[in-house]
Copies of this chain bind each other. A is one copy, B any other.
Amino acid sequence: MKLYEFQGKRLFAEYGIPVPKSGLLRSPTDAMPFDAPGVLKSQVLVGGRGKAGGIRVVDDNEEANLAVEDLFQKTIGDEQVAAVLMEEKVAFTNEYYLALTHDGGRALPLLIASASGGVDIEEVARENPEAILTQVFDPLLGPLDYQVRRAARSLGIAKPRQLSDLVARMYRVFAETDATLVEINPLAQTADGLLALDSKVLLDEKAAYRRKDVFSALLEEQNALTGQSESLEKEDTTTFVDLDGDLGMISDGAGTGMLTLDLIRDAGGEAATFCEMGGFTNPQVIYDAIGSVMARQPKVKALLIVLIGGFNRMDEMAEGILKYREDHGIDVPLVVRMVGTLEEVGKEMMHEAGLDTFDDLPGAVEEAVRLAKGDS
């Protein structure tokens, strides 16, 4: 779960990380928290709001009111601006980049520091990688003092003590809220010390079960701003992506799903959906997956279900498919490829329901592509 800047900064403030004075406007009619000058910042989850005109420096109140009205009208990426943060203008001498995250390949947490703050760090990483200092650390110890001193040196901070304190607080946010990323970019060097001018915090939804109160409150706040009703309770691990073709595709694995996309294209077809259910599923998951794909009609002209069960059980997959067909019908041509764990049982269930399945993936793909084209 990605937090809005203002949510991340509130978290920072709770942990004693210095942030500028600010106030949130939840709607264009909200009163200004303080008089201009100030900086008005669109609250969106997508990146690149600066380039998209989502940040305005305002010098007087009239200008501020106009800017607020304007910002609330904006769409950045696909996102309607959810709120506007009014923040004091801050004078600073340097902008740094500082972040904590995990290095998946090394399976260790990572402290990232760069003197090139205030710009897109991925760009820095591409064009000037030596400007970024990354240090892995022991997850049970946190970043150590000597590592912070090393970082301070690379940032050109003469007195490392203030950075030690800041990193210790960032680490507490990282560990105690089950964050996967805690990023400050830019971190400003001001006359009064270091100040977090922006926040980017990603929380690990896999840890929602043990951070229920905090995660729920943040999500409800987001829902209230966006009018959506996202939920922490994920019933399944399905990944659903809309594509431009006509063949609905469901698979029980990301790798096979991608292979199937490749095979569809090789066979001259185009997928309408990439819907992969993961390797630990159940009848309800495939039931819901079929529902999601069928909701894409009329785009979807045929449905291809590719199953190769390891932990997934083919009896359960058959159960879910047949239940969906009984409840809602499947009024496009259906091709099912079913092999793997308990395939004898699943195939028999399908056969009895008049649905014979394929063993062979390329054969199933070719048949589905043909059917999606309306060939008979």
Which A residues are closer than 8 A to B by beta carbons? Answer: 140-141
**In the docked arrangement, what's the CA distance between A140 and B141, Å?**
8
User: With a CB–CB cut-off of 8 A, which chain B residues contact A141?
Assistant: 140
Query: Which residue of B is nearest A141, CB measured?
Result: B140
Query: Which residue of B is nearest A139, CB measured?
Result: B140
2 contacts between A and B (CB under 8 A): A140-B140, A140-B141
**In the docked arrangement, what's the CA distance between A141 and B141, Å?**
10
**In the docked arrangement, what's the CA distance between A140 and B140, Å?**
6
Query: Which residue of B is nearest A138, CB measured?
Result: B140
**In the docked arrangement, what's the CA distance between A173 and B94, Å?**
41
Lowest 2 A-B CB distances belong to which pairs?
A140-B140, A140-B141
- Within the complex, the shortest CB–CB distance from A207 to chain B, in Å, comes to 16
Q: Is the interface of A mostly helix, strand, loop or mixed?
A: loop
- Within the complex, the shortest CB–CB distance from A137 to chain B, in Å, comes to 13
**In the docked arrangement, what's the CA distance between A289 and B140, Å?**
42
- Within the complex, the shortest CB–CB distance from A140 to chain B, in Å, comes to 4
**In the docked arrangement, what's the CA distance between A141 and B139, Å?**
11
User: With a CB–CB cut-off of 8 A, which chain B residues contact A140?
Assistant: 140-141
**In the docked arrangement, what's the CA distance between A23 and B140, Å?**
39
- Within the complex, the shortest CB–CB distance from A241 to chain B, in Å, comes to 38
Query: Which residue of B is nearest A140, CB measured?
Result: B140
- Within the complex, the shortest CB–CB distance from A171 to chain B, in Å, comes to 14
**In the docked arrangement, what's the CA distance between A141 and B138, Å?**
12
**In the docked arrangement, what's the CA distance between A141 and B140, Å?**
8
- Within the complex, the shortest CB–CB distance from A165 to chain B, in Å, comes to 13
- Within the complex, the shortest CB–CB distance from A158 to chain B, in Å, comes to 25
- Within the complex, the shortest CB–CB distance from A174 to chain B, in Å, comes to 16
- Within the complex, the shortest CB–CB distance from A9 to chain B, in Å, comes to 26
- Within the complex, the shortest CB–CB distance from A175 to chain B, in Å, comes to 12
- Within the complex, the shortest CB–CB distance from A361 to chain B, in Å, comes to 42
**In the docked arrangement, what's the CA distance between A140 and B175, Å?**
13
- Within the complex, the shortest CB–CB distance from A310 to chain B, in Å, comes to 28
- Within the complex, the shortest CB–CB distance from A211 to chain B, in Å, comes to 15
